[in-house]
Amino acid sequence: MSPIPLKVKDLKLAACVVVYLLALTVYLRYLEQDNEQAVAGEAVVEVLEQSDAEAWLSFDEHIGQTNVDPTSEKRILQSLQTKMDVAFEDAELALTLGELAQQADFKLHIKEGALAEDGIALNEPVTLHLKNVSIETALHYMLMPLGLTWVIKNDLLQITTEIDAEEVEVSRTYNVRKLAAAIKFGLSKEKRFDQRRHYGGLGGHYGDVGEEVLTGMVYNLVSGPWFDEEGVGGSVFYSKGLMTIRQTHRAHRDVSVLFAGMEYFLENRSSFAALRIRRLGYPFDEDDRIQKLLQEPISVDFEETSLFDVIESLRAILETPVFIQENAFAEDGIALDEKIALHLINVPASSVIKLILEPLGCTAQLHEGVLNVTTAIDIQDNARNYSVVLYDIRPLVQAGAKPRDLLMNVQTSTPGPWFDDVGVGGHIIDSFPGMLACWQTEQNHHEIAKLLADLARKYSYEQY
């Protein structure tokens, strides 16, 4: 029997099948290799939902740190999760910091020169009352009003100004091969190569779809600062599945947890609504507890009561830590002695708070297990009020929705603000298969979640 002649188009088809199978094999090998280096799904769940300190520390197994001692850093980060009650009333800054350091057993260094340049004295009075919070949370609310922050350097927890901290950058290399391979394969299945964004031009050579998407997510979902026209800020360089990032200590923590969240997304094929990306030890349980309290009905009877006393009264009624951003009120010319008149019976606490604050251009937002009372402008303009949530849109995509349409719907149908020409507002990215990754305020995350849930119900209804 003579051999059957093969046509050119048959050979091309066979070659395409072979290439596809090879690509699939490589992708599966990426998902299965380096189990010790990859972030375990269970660990990520603990970080994102239970906030266990040891879980975040396991993320460093696949992070190479070039100029920070990982052992001392882990020890200090872990000690910052020590819980305590804070009761400082006009106490000197240096003394309060010393007490926190003693409680958590870490070495402290105050950069007196940096503080002096900004006119901040070591005997600056500090008033702070919080119960059962981590030392990191206490540091946040103690330092933030003064324009101060902390970094880990030379095996010490160093207190300095926010401006000075932005100049302390370290380089770390992340293994992102699994994420890059998943992005390539997922976008190939969705036939979205022609829709990918180009984030090149900063920190290295781009062109591969996996590295473009990952680089774009880092630039848009981690606040930075990033390299600008004046040569100031951090940078990203990608080569052969390794991403080297030069950034501040705090930014690196955000990058680590972001990558961990994306890996958890890949490992868990069952549907979930969203993943909240937060730092080590973030008090999710306390946030959820306060959120439930805000739905409970309360009664108030205020007649020509100062705004400050009204907030203190709500603190007592809800038995919830409350922090007033007095600097933001002063900057926007809103007086805390503003008189409030309000009489309500059995109204949800969240509605009461809105009725009090919104007419003044103010708002309240949950952060670090504390109800922050500040101005609407402060919420929009300060990166500290933004956080990342990864929304699972796989059910919507399977029902026929297009990721880019969902992105546009979110930007159009929620108040924002969304990133504009002057660099203000949140970001949303649809380039990771099956996910909308969003950097926004807490209030807008609630709006986004409600919108996507409503769309899911509509798509589900249309299918039956």
Answer yes or no: do 178 and 140 share one domain: no
CA-to-CA distance for 173 and 63, rounded, in angstroms? 6
Answer yes or no: do 199 and 155 share one domain: no
Cα(first)–Cα(last) distance of the chain, in Å? 55
* DSSP E strands, 313-423: 322-324, 339-348, 362-367, 370-375, 386-392
Q: What is the pLDDT of residue 139?
A: 92
SS3 call for 220 = helix
pLDDT exceeds 60 at position 33? no
Residue 16 in any domain: the answer is no
Task: For 266-331, give the DSSP string.
Answer: HH--S--SEEEE--TT--HHHHHHHHHHHTSEEEEEEEEEEHHHHHHHHHHHHT--EEE-HHHHHH
**Contact, 204 vs 236, CB < 8 A?**
yes
Q: Domain limits at 303? A: 298-381
Q: What is the pLDDT of residue 65?
A: 36
Answer yes or no: do 245 and 186 share one domain: yes
Answer yes or no: do 319 and 415 share one domain: no
148's enclosing H/E stretch is: strand 148-153
Q: Give per-residue pLDDT as tens, 53-78.
A: 333 333 333 333 334 456 777 888 88
Residue 39 in any domain: the answer is no
Burial class of 381 by CB neighbour count within 10 A (0 to 12, 13 to 18, 19+): middle
| Range name among 66-80, 305-319, 347-361 with the lowest pLDDT average | 66-80
Q: What is the pLDDT of residue 121?
A: 92
From 361, 381, 401, the end of a domain falls on 381
CA-to-CA distance for 87 and 131, rounded, in angstroms? 8
- The total domain count for the chain is 3
From 110, 142, 165, the end of a domain falls on 165
Answer yes or no: do 145 and 265 share one domain: no
Q: Which of 134-138, 206-210, 419-423, 460-464 has the highest mean pLDDT?
A: 134-138
| Range name among 136-145, 249-258, 260-269, 402-411 with the lowest pLDDT average | 260-269
CA-to-CA distance for 133 and 150, rounded, in angstroms? 17
Answer yes or no: do 459 and 404 share one domain: yes
Distance of CA 413 to the CA centre of its chain: 22
What is the pLDDT confidence band of residue 130, given thresholds at 50, 70 and 90? confident
Answer yes or no: do 241 and 323 share one domain: no
What is the pLDDT confidence band of residue 347, given thresholds at 50, 70 and 90? very high
User: Which residue bears the tokens 């409350």?
Assistant: 322
Q: What is the pLDDT of residue 35?
A: 34
Residue 6 in any domain: the answer is no
pLDDT exceeds 70 at position 19? no
Q: What is the pLDDT of residue 265?
A: 84
Residues 6+ apart with CB under 8 A from 391: 273, 274, 435, 436, 437, 438, 448, 449, 452
Mean pLDDT across 379-389: 87
Q: Give per-residue pLDDT as tens, 162-179.
A: 888 888 888 999 999 999
Answer yes or no: do 177 and 265 share one domain: yes
Q: What is the pLDDT of residue 69?
A: 54
Answer yes or no: do 216 and 256 share one domain: yes
Higher pLDDT among residues 182 and 305, named by residue: 305
What's 319's domain CATH number?
A: 3.55.50.30
Q: What is the pLDDT of residue 421?
A: 55
What is the pLDDT confidence band of residue 116, given thresholds at 50, 70 and 90? very high
Answer yes or no: do 258 and 399 share one domain: yes
Q: Give per-residue pLDDT as tens, 276-297.
A: 888 767 888 888 889 999 999 9
Answer yes or no: do 277 and 310 share one domain: no
Answer yes or no: do 394 and 275 share one domain: yes
Q: Give per-residue pLDDT as tens, 154-164.
A: 888 899 998 88
CA-to-CA distance for 80 and 138, rounded, in angstroms? 10
210's enclosing H/E stretch is: helix 209-221
Share of the chain above pLDDT 70, in %: 77
CB atoms within 10 A of CB 333: 8
Under the phi-then-psi rule, with left for phi > 0, alpha for psi from -120 to 50, and beta for the rest, what region is 426? Answer: beta
pLDDT exceeds 60 at position 321? yes
Q: What is the pLDDT of residue 305?
A: 95
**Contact, 240 vs 230, CB < 8 A?**
no
pTM of the predicted protein model: 0.76
pLDDT exceeds 70 at position 1? no
Mean pLDDT across 34-63: 31
Residue in 222, 116, 129, 103 with CA at minimum distance from that of residue 159:
116
From 165, 199, 227, the end of a domain falls on 165
Q: Give per-residue pLDDT as tens, 196-234.
A: 444 343 444 445 788 888 998 999 999 878 876 566 788
